[in-house]
Chains A and B, each alone.
Chain A
C-alpha cells in the first residue's frame, strides 16, 4: 500500500519535472485524435495557418508570463492591443505613404505608454494589479472607441504596405512567424541569462528577500508592465494588419486566452514560477484547439466553455501535482 502510494506520487513528481514533455505528449495525442476525426488537420497548409494564427498569442503570452512571475496580472492587454492597433491604422490611413516600420514603432510606443501607466499604478502607488488593470482596461477600450469616433478602419483605407506586414513572407516563411521566433529567442535569453531577467523571478518568488538583497523591485515591476505594454502594442499592429480591419472591440476578452496559455504552460499565478518554453507549448495547445474544433464540427459557441473548462482543469492539476510533490519530499525526509 505504502509502496503504491510512493509510486503514484513519484509519477506525479516526474510529471512536475518534465512538464514540457507532458504537454508535448498531450499535444501529440490531441493531434492524432483530430487527425483521425478530420484528415485535413495535418496538412502543410493547415499547419502553416495554425502557426500563423498562434503567433500573436505567443507574443502576448511571453509578456504575460513576466507579469505573472512577479505575482501580477494584466487584464488591460486586450484593450492596449486594440488602442495601439487603432492608432497606427488611423495613422496609416491618413498618411498612406508611411513606412510600415514606422507604423509598427508607433503601435509599440502607444503600447509602452499604456504599460508604463499600469506599471506606475502597480509599482509606485501600490494598487493591486487586478484592480489597476481592470480599470485601465476600460479606459483604454473607451479611448479606442473615442479615437475612431465609434467607427472602423477597414481594409480599403489601409495601404497595401501596411497590410503586407502580416501577409508578406521572407525566405518562404510568414513575417508573423519570424517576428514571433525573434521575440521568443530574445526573451528566452533575457529571462534565463541576464541579471534583470533573473531578478524578475527573485521579485516574484520572495519580494522581501529580493528587496533585502538589493533588488529594486519597484523598477522590476515597472519594467515588466512596460514590456507587456510594448508587446501588446506590437501585437496590436500585427493583429490589425493581419485581419485588415481595426474595430473598437478588437481583441476584447483576449487577455483571458493569453492568461490561459500561460497557466497551461505551467506559470504559477502565485509568482516566481514559469518557463518560457512551457508558455510556448501552452499557446500552441490553445492554437490547436482554436484551429481544430471548427474542423471537427464543434459549434463555435462551445469554444468558450471548452476553454474555461480546460483552464480550470489546468489550474487544479497544477495544484494537485505540486501538493503531491511536496508530500513526496516530506515522506522521503521522514524515511
Chain B
C-alpha cells in the first residue's frame, strides 16, 4: 500500500529532503517567533523562550504515544480524562496521609491502568473502534474523578512538589529537560527499533502485518498503556504547576494533543508521519498560544485558532496525499478491519 514508509532503500535526493513537511513546520515556527518578537521586544531571548515552555509542555508528553497510536490508525480521546482522574487520585491519596512519593506512584499506576483498559478493550473486542471505546472511557474516567472529589479541590502538597512545574536545572526548566529526554527516547523507539517499524507496518496494513508475524495486539496494548502513563506524567506536571487539582482539569487536552499530532504531518489514514514533525508541532502550537496570550487574546479565540489549525493541517496533508496518489484510496472513513 504505502511503500514509502516500508522501504528503507529509497535513494536520497536533496530535493526530496527539502520537500518534507517538517521544513514547512520549521518555517511556520520561525514565523511565529518573528510574530512574537514583534509583539513583545522582550520575547526573543533564551531565558524567555525556555521559560515559556513551562506553560505548554505538560500536555506534550502525551503527544509521543499519540503519534504511535495515530500511525496505527487508531485514536485515543480519553487522555484528558485520564489526566484528570490520575491527578485526583494522587491528590486524594496524599491528603489521606500517604507519602507524596507513593501518591505519585499511584498517579502513574492509575494512568497506566486507564490506558491499559483502553488497549485491552480495543484488542479484545475488535469489532469496536478506538473511537467508541475511548469515547466511553472518556466519560467514565472523568465521571470517576467527579465521584471521588465532587465539587471540591484538593491540594496542600509539600513545597518541593512545585519543583516539577516550576523548577530549573541550571537556567533550563526541569520540564524542558525531561521533555527533551522523552523526545529522544521516543524518536529512537519509533524510527530505530523493530517495535517502531512494526507500528508503521500495522498502520499501513494491519492484516498483512498480523500474517507476517507482527504481534499487533501486544503492540497496541503497550502503546495505549504508554498513552495512559504519559497522561499521568502530564497530571503530575499540571498539578504541580497549579498547586491543587479539581475533577474538571485538563478538559479538551485531547484536542490539543490530536491537533499537535495532525499538524506534525501524521496522516490519519495511518502508516505515515515522523516524530520530529510532531515535536515541531508541539512548539508551534505552544508558542502560538503563548504569543496570543501576550497580546491578550481571550481564551475563547484560542479555541478557534486551535480548531482551525487542526482542520487546515489535516486538509493539507490529505490533499498532499491525494495529489501524490492521483486517486483516492478507498472510502475516507473506512477502518481497516483486522
Query: Which A residues contact B (CB, under 8 angstroms)?
Result: 70-73, 121-123, 125-132, 134-139, 141-143, 145-146, 150, 207-208, 217, 248, 256, 259-260, 263, 269-270, 299, 301-309, 311-312, 315-316, 319, 322-323
Contact of B143 among A70, A248, A308 (CB under 8 A): A308
Assess the A146–B301 pair: CB atoms within 8 A: yes
A122 CB contacts on chain B under 8 angstroms:
332-333
Report if B244 contacts A (CB, 8 A). no
Report if B178 contacts A (CB, 8 A). no
Report if B39 contacts A (CB, 8 A). no
Can you list 5 A-B pairs, Cβ within 8 angstroms, ordered by A?
A: A139-B311, A207-B334, A301-B247, A302-B147, A309-B143
Report if B102 contacts A (CB, 8 A). no
The 4 closest A-B pairs by CB, nearest first: A305-B143, A308-B140, A138-B307, A145-B300
Assess the A316–B125 pair: CB atoms within 8 A: yes
The CA-CA distance from A322 to B311 in the complex, in Å, is 35
- Smallest CB-CB separation from A304: which chain B residue? B143
Contact of A129 among B141, B254, B308, B333 (CB under 8 A): B333
Report if B77 contacts A (CB, 8 A). yes
Chain B stretch 294-311: residues in CB contact (< 8 A) with chain A = 298, 300-308, 310-311
B307 CB contacts on chain A under 8 angstroms:
134-139, 142
- Smallest CB-CB separation from B126: which chain A residue? A319
The CA-CA distance from A301 to B132 in the complex, in Å, is 23
Encoded as 1 (CB less than 8 Å from any A CB) or 0, chain B from 292 to 329 comes to 00000010111111111011001100110010000010
Assess the A131–B127 pair: CB atoms within 8 A: no
Chain B stretch 126-141: residues in CB contact (< 8 A) with chain A = 127-129, 131-133, 135-141
Assess the B127–A142 pair: CB atoms within 8 A: no
A150 CB contacts on chain B under 8 angstroms:
298, 300
At the interface with chain A, which of B197-205, B255-263, B277-285? B255-263
Report if B151 contacts A (CB, 8 A). yes
The CA-CA distance from A19 to B75 in the complex, in Å, is 30
B258 CB contacts on chain A under 8 angstroms:
131, 134
What's the least CB distance linking A252 to chain B, in Å?
9
A248 CB contacts on chain B under 8 angstroms:
300
The CA-CA distance from A137 to B133 in the complex, in Å, is 20
Report if B142 contacts A (CB, 8 A). yes
Assess the B255–A269 pair: CB atoms within 8 A: no
What's the least CB distance linking A246 to chain B, in Å?
15
B132 CB contacts on chain A under 8 angstroms:
263, 269, 315
Known: A146-B300, A301-B151. A128 touches B135 (CB 8 A): no
Assess the B136–A126 pair: CB atoms within 8 A: no
Assess the A315–B143 pair: CB atoms within 8 A: no
Assess the A130–B300 pair: CB atoms within 8 A: no
**Size of B's binding interface in residues, CB under 8 A:** 56
- Smallest CB-CB separation from A218: which chain B residue? B332
What's the least CB distance linking A145 to chain B, in Å?
3
Report if B268 contacts A (CB, 8 A). yes
**Secondary structure class of chain B's binding surface, majority of residues:** helix
B141 CB contacts on chain A under 8 angstroms:
308
Assess the A269–B334 pair: CB atoms within 8 A: no
Assess the A269–B304 pair: CB atoms within 8 A: no
Most buried by B among A122, A135, A270, A323: A135
B217 CB contacts on chain A under 8 angstroms:
none
What's the least CB distance linking B313 to chain A, in Å?
9
What's the least CB distance linking A150 to chain B, in Å?
7
Known: A141-B300, A312-B137. A127 touches B129 (CB 8 A): no
What's the least CB distance linking B310 to chain A, in Å?
4
A301 CB contacts on chain B under 8 angstroms:
146-147, 150-151, 247
The CA-CA distance from A145 to B132 in the complex, in Å, is 29
Encoded as 1 (CB less than 8 Å from any A CB) or 0, chain B from 215 to 259 comes to 000000000000000000000000000000001000010110011
What's the least CB distance linking B248 to chain A, in Å?
10
Report if B92 contacts A (CB, 8 A). no
What's the least CB distance linking B174 to chain A, in Å?
30
Encoded as 1 (CB less than 8 Å from any A CB) or 0, chain B from 268 to 288 comes to 100000000000000000000
Contact of B127 among A139, A270, A307 (CB under 8 A): A270
Contact of A308 among B137, B298, B302, B315 (CB under 8 A): B137
Chain B stretch 146-160: residues in CB contact (< 8 A) with chain A = 146-147, 150-151
Known: A138-B304, A305-B147. A315 touches B136 (CB 8 A): yes
B306 CB contacts on chain A under 8 angstroms:
138
Report if B144 contacts A (CB, 8 A). yes
What's the least CB distance linking B307 to chain A, in Å?
3
